[in-house]
């Protein structure tokens, strides 16, 4: 039986040099997320949960409704994209988390966001 709830989540990151201030331990990153519904049922993204970790092991946990003020309804074959950002105290960090979704069948489920790296240029080989 084919899984009716398949969401691919792709992330692109970039360092925002103009807004960063390394001398004051401020590193600003932007990320663009693409959420693609590869399943058979439409679903709505209701909540987000992020765990953001800097190079010192400090974590921030972020929970909230939707993404960028929206709770997108994503039908099979559709991709929803949005951009947001994060500020770290270190030039390298990571993020991971999940989106709380509800399918048209009424079932709630989480779409996992695999860990991805945030890194200022020249900090990783």
Q: What is the CATH number of the domain that holds 52?
A: 2.60.40.1470
| pLDDT tens sequence for the chain (125 residues) | 456 688 999 999 999 999 999 999 999 999 999 999 999 999 999 999 999 999 999 999 999 999 999 999 999 999 999 999 999 999 999 999 999 999 999 999 999 999 999 999 988 75
State the pLDDT at residue 69. Answer: 94
Is residue 107 in a domain?
yes
Residue 106 lies in a domain: yes
Identify the domain containing residue 21 by its residue range.
Answer: 7-119
| Number of domains comprising the chain | 1
Cα(33)–Cα(39) distance, integer angstroms: 18
Question: Is residue 82 in some structural domain?
Answer: yes
Per-residue pLDDT at 1: 45
| Backbone conformation region of residue 4, classed left if phi is above 0, alpha if psi is from -120 to 50, else beta | alpha
Classify residue 109: in a domain, yes or no: yes
């Amino acid at each position: 039986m084919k899984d009716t709830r398949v969401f691919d989540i792709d992330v692109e990151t970039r360092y925002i040099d103009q807004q960063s201030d390394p001398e004051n331990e401020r590193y600003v990153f932007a990320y663009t997320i693409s959420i693609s519904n590869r399943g058979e049922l439409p679903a709505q993204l209701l909540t987000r949960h992020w765990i953001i970790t800097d190079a010192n092991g400090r974590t921030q946990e972020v929970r909230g409704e939707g993404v960028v003020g929206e709770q997108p309804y994503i039908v099979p074959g559709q991709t929803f994209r949005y951009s947001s950002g994060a500020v770290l105290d270190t030039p390298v960090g990571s993020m991971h988390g999940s989106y709380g979704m509800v399918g048209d069948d009424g079932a709630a489920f989480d779409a996992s966001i695999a860990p991805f790296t945030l890194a200022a240029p020249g900090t990783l080989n």
